[in-house]
Chain A
Amino acid sequence: MTEKELQIKSINYRKKILQYIVGAKAGHTGGSLSCTDILNVLYNHVLNVSPGNFTSPDRDRYIQSKGHCVEALFVVLADKGFFPEEDLNTLCQYKSHYIGHPTKKVKGVEQNTGALGHGLPIAVGTAIAAKMDHKGYRVFTLLGDGELPEGSNWEAALSAAHYKLDNLCAIVDKNSLQITAPTAEVMSTDPLDEKFKAFGWAVRVVDGHDIEALKAAFDSMPFEKGKPSVIIANTIKGRGISYMENNLKWHHGVPNKEEYAIAVTELDNALNAVQ
């Protein structure tokens, strides 16, 4: 897929994320918009995962540790044909399988997540299994920067390096905001690249909204043979909607009718600019 095609996809994904959050009257808006480009590149450029091979033991695995940003994942999975997009009209509705966090009841979801600090340990186990079985699949997990103070991440980070899991890639969606305040104020994790390096990982820092930069980073995985790879993706929470960007209110804010109209207009304008 060309860069332009991927850019168009990202804008359309953002439109749908907002559409279904508005429909559900709930969702993690800002974080879903910050990781949209990452998911776009993963599912449309990187992952060997499709509805057709989802039960294959050889498929790549994607585990979303920052499970609260499920709206981005569901929109991308629907686009990839894992389920009919109209299912998302039931998002968070009574008896729907489409809850506010990833669940294996939805085709395309590898693990039930939502509690933070769980994705990386599971990803490590999955990557160890690949090594045991001499299989070539790779394991990807998306972490939020706000979840990094969970100690389980660092337990897993140690073990990933110990077992030389160069088939594992963690992506940190570093949008630098969490529910209470800027991440640096709540609990600083900087310098994050140095921390991961000290834990034995190979690190790339990229602009998490630069499609080409993301593609280039993923294409060069493993960054070092014998080491797990981490992409620290600097992102903007609420990316793409002017009044949401870097605004704490939109962690799980739901736009009202007027705000939604403005957001759609901005995304349509962005679409016209790309096209």
Chain B
Amino acid sequence: MAEVVNTGLGYKANQDIFSETLQRLAETDRQIVAVTSDSRGSGKLVPFGKKFPEQIVEVGIAEQNLVGVAAGLASCGKKVFAVSPACFLTARALEQIKNDVAYSDNPVNVIGISAGVSYGALGSTHHSLHDYAVLRTINNIIVVAPADNFETEQAVELASKTNLPIYLRFGKKPMPPLKGVNDDLFAFGKGRVITEGDDVAIIATGETVYPALQAAEKLKAENVHATVVSMHTIKPLDTDLLAKLAGQCKAIVTVEEHSVYGGLGEACASYLLQHNYHKPFKIIGIPDEYTVTGSQQDIFTHYGITKDGIANVALELLK
């Protein structure tokens, strides 16, 4: 593992893989429909739109209508991917996600692109640091943030075959490939173990899995052995894996590109406390503030979502 931050050179962004996978699936499945809100450029769906003009619906900059239209299409058997920046999609159209998708059980794949702090210095209007929290409280929607291209491809394929409301969250930064312990088994609700160790469990999601793995490498040099999990599915949470890790590790760290309130960390904490696992525990994420100005990497660095930041938290917990 390189001991530098991810420069993205030579890799593809998860949202690129999303669009490539969707295009591949659409070759043989005429029921696949992309719905966009002037987001086909940022969603990398221009080639999809050119190739499958009959399978893309543009609604203009109108996220509420995006999700409502997607729900209507899904109710008629379309395999719908409703694509918009996560910040707008999961805030402005939250009521449509709650009512028209989840409550009405219309199996829309709600695709939040440029998620978390992907938009960096564009500021808080463009950050989605609330989406796990709000969607976790809504019944009947699966919440997934793939860590790398492999998970993205698997998640999009699985979503196209899963007749349930799903939220998929993608960033725009090219992501290096991770190697899981068992990559034959990708399923929503099943965490992907990247590396194993009994001292500390680092449970991360989305684009924070990579720095979590770097932290594990750093810890290894200090003879501290970490398990790193890509907990790509925030809901339903893989509580079997969580219980196993809580049983075997001395401390638990969670990492997410999300508010420390209401996301992966609090989901894990809630499970652990209510099942009598009392291990040293720390949530790494974005604190309850409007973030510092900077790129995604600047913001990660500022809040300790880095190799050093995560490793230091783990070492503190193990003291």
Interface residues of A (CB under 8 A from B): 57, 104, 110-115, 117-118, 120-130, 132-133, 151-152, 155-156, 158-159, 162-163
14 A-B pairs in the complex with CB atoms less than 8 angstroms apart: A121-B69, A122-B75, A124-B72, A125-B68, A129-B73, A132-B54, A133-B76, A152-B62, A152-B65, A152-B68, A155-B65, A158-B60, A158-B62, A159-B69
Cα distance A113–B95 in the bound complex, in angstroms: 11
B205 at the interface (CB under 8 A from A): no
B residues in contact with A130, CB < 8 Å = 76
The 7 closest A-B pairs by CB, nearest first: A125-B72, A121-B68, A129-B76, A155-B65, A125-B69, A155-B62, A126-B72
Cα distance A120–B73 in the bound complex, in angstroms: 13
Query: Known interface pairs A104-B104, A118-B100, A125-B71. Does A155 touch B59 (Cβ–Cβ under 8 Å)?
Result: yes
The B50-75 residues at the A interface (CB cut-off 8 A) are 54-55, 57, 59-60, 62, 64-65, 67-75
Query: Known interface pairs A124-B69, A129-B78. Does A111 touch B62 (Cβ–Cβ under 8 Å)?
Result: no
**Size of interface on B: residues with Cβ below 8 Å to A:** 30
Cα distance A88–B253 in the bound complex, in angstroms: 53
A residues in contact with B277, CB < 8 Å = none
Please indicate which of the listed interface residues A114, A123, A125, A163 has the most CB atoms of chain B within 10 Å of its own CB.
A125
B99 at the interface (CB under 8 A from A): yes
Give the dominant DSSP class at A's interface: helix
CB within 8 A of A121: which of B60, B64, B74, B103?
B64
B38 at the interface (CB under 8 A from A): no
The answer to whether B100 and A121 touch across the interface, beta carbons within 8 angstroms, is yes
The B102-140 residues at the A interface (CB cut-off 8 A) are 103-106
Cα distance A156–B71 in the bound complex, in angstroms: 13
Residue of A nearest to B64 (CB): A152
Cα distance A123–B73 in the bound complex, in angstroms: 9
Cα distance A54–B59 in the bound complex, in angstroms: 29
The answer to whether B99 and A112 touch across the interface, beta carbons within 8 angstroms, is yes
CB within 8 A of A156: which of B35, B69, B74, B104?
B69
Query: Known interface pairs A112-B104, A155-B65. Does A128 touch B99 (Cβ–Cβ under 8 Å)?
Result: no
CB within 8 A of B65: which of A57, A124, A133?
A124
A residues in contact with B74, CB < 8 Å = 125
CB within 8 A of A128: which of B62, B73, B100, B104?
B73
A residues in contact with B65, CB < 8 Å = 121, 124, 152, 155-156, 158-159
Residue of B nearest to A152 (CB): B64
CB within 8 A of B69: which of A113, A128, A151?
A128
Q: A104-B104, A123-B72 are in contact. List 18 more A-B contacts (CB 8 A).
A: A57-B76, A111-B71, A114-B99, A120-B68, A121-B64, A121-B68, A122-B69, A125-B68, A125-B74, A126-B73, A128-B69, A129-B76, A130-B76, A132-B55, A155-B65, A158-B60, A158-B65, A159-B62
The answer to whether A121 and B76 touch across the interface, beta carbons within 8 angstroms, is no
A residues in contact with B147, CB < 8 Å = none
B residues in contact with A162, CB < 8 Å = 60
The answer to whether A115 and B72 touch across the interface, beta carbons within 8 angstroms, is no
Query: Known interface pairs A104-B105, A122-B75. Does A128 touch B68 (Cβ–Cβ under 8 Å)?
Result: no
The answer to whether A112 and B103 touch across the interface, beta carbons within 8 angstroms, is yes
Q: How far is the CB of B7 from chain A (nearest CB, A)?
A: 40
The answer to whether A128 and B72 touch across the interface, beta carbons within 8 angstroms, is yes
Residue of A nearest to B61 (CB): A155
Residue of B nearest to A141 (CB): B72
CB within 8 A of B78: which of A114, A121, A132, A156?
A132
Cα distance A117–B68 in the bound complex, in angstroms: 10
Query: Known interface pairs A156-B69, A159-B62. Does A122 touch B76 (Cβ–Cβ under 8 Å)?
Result: no
